Amino acid sequence: MTNQEIIAKLPYSKPFLFVDEIVQIDENGVEGTYVFDDSLYFYNGHFKDNPITPGVILTEVMAQIGLVCLGIFLLNDSFNQRSSIALTSTEMEFLKPVFPNEKVIVISEKIYFRFGKLKCKVKMINEREEVVCMGTIAGMIV
C-alpha cells in the first residue's frame, strides 16, 4: 500500500483532515507532516489577535498521523470502509505553541499492537527541530 493510498483511506476530510504527507512508514512507526493553514476555523477565536493552535488539535494531528495512518498500514488490506480506529487514551505534554502557517512533523513509534489495540509514543517537532509536544496515544481497531 502506498503512502497516498493510506491517506485516502483515512476517515476524515477537510477541514478535519490533518495529514499532508507520510514521509516514512513501516511496521515500527510512521513520520508525517502537516501545515496549519491560517484560514483554519479554530484560529478565529483562539487567543484573539495572537492565534495559536489548540492542544486538542495538536493531539488530533498526532492521532491521525501517528496512530490512524500506522494502524491502516499495519492492517493493510483488512482495513476497509467499515473499519475505524477509535482513540482510547492520550497522555500529552505541550512544550511550545504552534502558530498559523507552521509546518509540523509527527514521529510515532509503535509501543505495541495486539488484540486490536495500538499504542504509540509520539512527538511533534516544528521546522526549527524543536519538540512542540510529546506523549503516548492509544486506540482500538473497530
Cell of 56: 486538542
Catalytic residue among 3, 10, 23, 46: 46
Residue 18: Cβ within 10 Å count = 23
Q: Which residue segments constitute the domains of the chain, with CATH numbers given?
A: 3-141 (3.10.129.10)
Per residue in 66-89, pLDDT (tens digit) is 999 999 999 886 666 666 778 899
Say whether 121 is catalytic: no
Mean pLDDT of 94-109: 97
Cis peptide before 51 (omega within 30 of 0): no
| pLDDT, tens only, 37-66 | 999 988 887 777 889 999 999 999 999 999
For residue 132, which amino acid is it?
V
Q: Where are the alpha helices (DSSP H) in 1-44?
A: 3-9
**The C-alpha cell of 104 is what?**
509540523
Continuous segment of H or E residues that includes residue 105:
strand 103-114
CA distance 123 to 132: 8
Q: What is the pLDDT of residues 7-29, one digit of tens each?
A: 998 888 888 999 999 999 999 99
Q: For position 111, what pLDDT does the model report?
A: 98
